[in-house]
Structure formats: structure tokens, C-alpha cells
Structure 1
Amino acid sequence: MTTVMPEGEAIRKAVKWVSNCVQENPDKPVQKIVCEAILRFDLSPIEAEFLMDFYKAKRRTEP
């Protein structure tokens, strides 16, 4: 299954912000960071769903 990132500056900024937070705070749960990003960047429901799914899939593929 291919996931296409929704268009928009907010989702791009959110992905970048979450990635930075995960690197800076490796002990903080990723889902908590994702929830903060959804609120911080005022993401639409589609963008929020994409972000949650993106980091769930990423976590499954990491060693």
C-alpha cells in the first residue's frame, strides 16, 4: 500500500517537527508527540490520520 502525503504546508511542517521531537526526546511516546503536532499545526482530520498512520508504519519498520 502506498501512502501519499496530503498537500499543504501544515502537514509538511508537522512531519518535520515530529521527526525532530522524536530525535530530541527518544523516550517520549511517539503517539503523544503526534497528538501535540496535530494540535500545534491545526491539522485537518485527513492530515491527522495521515500523520498517525505514517508514524505507526514507521515504528513497525524500524529495527
Structure 2
Amino acid sequence: MTTEELLPHGEKLRKAVKWIAQVCREHPERSRDAVLREAEERFDLSPKECEFLNRKLASSPAEG
């Protein structure tokens, strides 16, 4: 995987990733999937941006 594949494009998406990281750090009890859904609404992300977040940041089956 290249660095470019990991870095989000677009200001809204970068802000969403920062926000997700902060929320997950401050509230580890929250489900990452729930945080992702909230970020998608909070930052008014496009379907393509939501897909990117889900593909790169969603919980693995082992995380629950």
C-alpha cells in the first residue's frame, strides 16, 4: 500500500479523519463504526468519501 492510498484528499475528509482520531483517543469505549457514521454526517461527506473512511478506518471483525 502506498502513502497516497492512505492519505485522504479534500479538506472535509482530512478534518473528519482528525476528528475521528481525537474522538477514538478520548472515548475508547465508543464503537469506531458509530464514530465513523457521526463523522460522515458532521462533515457532510460525499458517498465516495464515506466509502474511503469505511474502507480504511472501519473496525475489523475482531474489534467488534
Asked whether the two chains share a fold, i.e. TM above 0.5, the reply is yes
Change (3 A) 1:29 1:37: same
Indicate if the aligned counterparts of 1:22 and 1:30 stay in contact, CA closer than 8 A: yes
Compute the TM-score of the two structures, normalised by the length of structure 2.
Answer: 0.78
The structure 1 segments of at least 4 consecutive aligned residues displaced by more than 3 Å after TM superposition are none
Indicate if the aligned counterparts of 1:5 and 1:50 stay in contact, CA closer than 8 A: no
Task: Return 5+ residue gaps in structure 2 as ranges.
Answer: none
Task: Return 5+ residue gaps in structure 1 as ranges.
Answer: none
Q: CA-to-partner distance for each residue in 1:11-55, whole Å, 9 max, x for gaps?
A: 000000000000000010000000000000000001001011111
Indicate the residue corresponding to 1:44 in structure 2: 46
Indicate the residue corresponding to 1:18 in structure 2: 20
Identity across the alignment (%): 43
Q: How many residues align?
A: 58
Counterpart-to-counterpart distance in 2, 1:33 and 1:7: 20
